[in-house]
Amino acid sequence: MTTSTVTSTRLFDGYRLGELELPNRVVMAPMTRVRAAAGGLATPSMATYYAQRATAGLIVSEGVQPSSAGQSNPGTPGLHTDEQVDSWRPVTAAVHANGGRIFAQIMHGGRVSHPDTSGQQPVGPSAVPAGGEVFTPSGLQPAPVPRALESAEVPEHVGAYAEAARRAIDAGFDGVELHGANGYLISQFLSSNANLRTDRYGGSIANRIRFAVEAVEATVEAVGAARTSIRLSPGATFWGVEETDVPELYAELLRELAGMDPAYIHLEATADEETLLGLRRAWPGALVMNPSIPMGPKQAGRADADHWLGLGADLISFGRGFLANPDLVERLRTGLPIAPADEDTYYQGGDAGYLTYPAYQHTA
């Protein structure tokens, strides 16, 4: 398929995703907003924020920790207590009331955490710290050395994704997306420098993908394939991770995942286009493509969406565009200007820069 075959309306055509009928192919990508209340609880403001953006074909929530050990950043929500489940119900109900659909992104930070945030030493595949500084309640601090997981402990952390998925469905989410990208726990196991293990979870490609495969498998068993998905960032170097043999690593991972028939794979444009196209050819199921690198210099727009639809993507995710544009779908549809977001308010908390962005104001 070539870009020229894409009609001007394809981004706004409906799409059947698992058991969901999406009204368009625009996905709101997961974005950390650190607006949760104490105890990792979702808030009424979060319900308003997501409901404002319910015209997206699918919303993927901010990263939600599946366990106390999985918390990466302060101010983030969880799905590992009954109180957290209860707090999410008004959020999912508000999205559904506005005609939307929402998946919870399940995010275990692994080594990208700090004792001041989670109350415990971070864990990872090996005792190798993340690159750079991590967010803590008192500000940025050097990333600590994580405790390497014992082989017998790994299934507990695999199971945390599945248990959080069960809780997500109980809270009213339509499905879950496992965060396998951007240097967090699943990504750390895929890595060739964060994962120095010599057991069945390290070394060879077959071993390095095992944690990701088992996490998806457990989640599929818990909530069903149609409600399970995973996000990946091939070749990315977030938080100091490196990956050798990227095309082979991800092609093998996709081959293993294909047999489980998850709802979709969500790829970030962190590798060259040739590599990404190879993964599109290797993946028989639905592909969500994020055309830009998270926090990178370029924000994705309509042209990027049409380009990737022409290359075989099924849905296109937009991150930053949704921050200042709750009506992003309509702006993309009609060619209206995309308002810029105030970066100073990304993580400051409160409703400013969160609920204060209006829909486009037409003037006479």
Distance separating alpha carbons of residues 257 and 283, to the nearest angstrom: 9
Distance separating alpha carbons of residues 136 and 185, to the nearest angstrom: 18
Q: Please list, residue by residue across 181-214, b when 16 or more beta carbons sit within 10 angstroms of its beta carbon and e when fewer do.
A: bbbbbbbbbbbbebbebeeebbeebebbbbbbbb
Q: Could you list the beta-strand ranges (E) of 13-52.
A: 15-17, 20-22, 26-28
Q: With contact defined as beta carbons under 8 Å apart, do 300 and 333 qualify?
A: no
Distance separating alpha carbons of residues 173 and 261, to the nearest angstrom: 19
Classify 320 as helix, strand or coil: helix
Q: With contact defined as beta carbons under 8 Å apart, do 105 and 50 qualify?
A: no
Q: With contact defined as beta carbons under 8 Å apart, do 299 and 325 qualify?
A: no
Distance separating alpha carbons of residues 147 and 242, to the nearest angstrom: 19
264 is catalytic: no
Q: With contact defined as beta carbons under 8 Å apart, do 290 and 269 qualify?
A: yes
Residue type, 204: S
Residues sharing a CB contact under 8 Å with residue 224, sequence separation 6 or more, in sequence order: none
Distance separating alpha carbons of residues 71 and 59, to the nearest angstrom: 21
Catalytic annotation, pick one of 161, 184, 201, 264: 184
Joined together, the tokens standing for residue 62 give: 């901010």
Strands 228-232 and 175-179: parallel
Strands 139-142 and 133-136: antiparallel
Q: With contact defined as beta carbons under 8 Å apart, do 291 and 304 qualify?
A: yes
Residues annotated as catalytic are: 184
